[in-house]
C-alpha cells in the first residue's frame, strides 16, 4: 500500500522545555492528529537543535488535507506550536516508494 509522508523540519524556541514540548506533541497527537483520515504514524526526530516531524498518511490526499486542516485543532495545536520557532519551519511532502522493516 503506498503511503505519503508530511515532513516538517524546524527548531524549538531558545527557552523551550523539551519535556513540555514532547508532552504537547503527545497531547496533540492523541487528541487530534491520530484521528485524521488516513493517519498511520508520527515520528519525531532530533539532531541537536534541528527537529523533524514525519507524519505518515495512507494517501497524498490525506497528507495534504491534514496540513490544510491543521489549524482546526484549536488549543492543542496552539500549545504545540508555542514551542516552535515558526520561521525555521521547512515543509515537504514525500511519496513512500518502498518501506523496509
Residue 61: alpha-carbon gap to chain centroid: 16
**Contact predicate 56/3, CB 8 Å:** yes
Stretch 44-68: mean pLDDT: 96
**Residue of 78, 63, 92 lying closest to 31 (CA atoms):** 78
C-alpha grid cell for residue 21?
A: 514540548
- Give the length of the chain: 101
Tens of pLDDT, residue by residue over 12-30, are: 999 999 999 999 999 999 9
Domains detected in the chain: 3-96 (3.30.70.100)
**Residue of 98, 86, 92, 96 lying closest to 3 (CA atoms):** 96
Tens of pLDDT, residue by residue over 65-99, are: 998 888 788 899 999 999 999 999 999 999 999 98
Tens of pLDDT, residue by residue over 29-43, are: 999 999 999 999 999
**Contact predicate 42/55, CB 8 Å:** yes
In the three-class reduction of DSSP (H, G, I as helix; E, B as strand; rest coil), residue 35 is classed as helix
In the three-class reduction of DSSP (H, G, I as helix; E, B as strand; rest coil), residue 75 is classed as helix
User: Which helix H or strand E contains 56, and what residues bound it?
Assistant: strand 50-57
Amino acid at each position: 500500500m503506498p503511503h505519503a509522508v508530511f515532513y516538517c523540519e524546524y527548531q524549538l524556541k531558545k527557552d523551550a522545555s523539551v519535556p513540555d514540548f514532547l508532552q504537547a506533541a503527545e497531547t496533540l497527537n492523541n487528541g487530534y492528529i491520530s484521528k485524521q483520515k488516513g493517519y498511520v504514524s508520527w515520528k519525531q526526530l532530533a539532531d541537536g537543535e534541528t527537529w523533524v516531524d514525519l507524519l505518515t498518511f495512507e494517501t497524498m490526499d490525506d497528507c495534504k488535507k491534514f496540513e490544510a486542516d491543521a489549524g482546526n485543532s484549536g488549543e492543542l495545536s496552539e500549545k504545540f506550536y508555542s514551542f516552535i520557532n515558526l520561521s525555521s519551519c521547512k515543509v515537504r511532502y514525500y511519496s513512500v516508494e518502498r518501506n523496509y522493516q
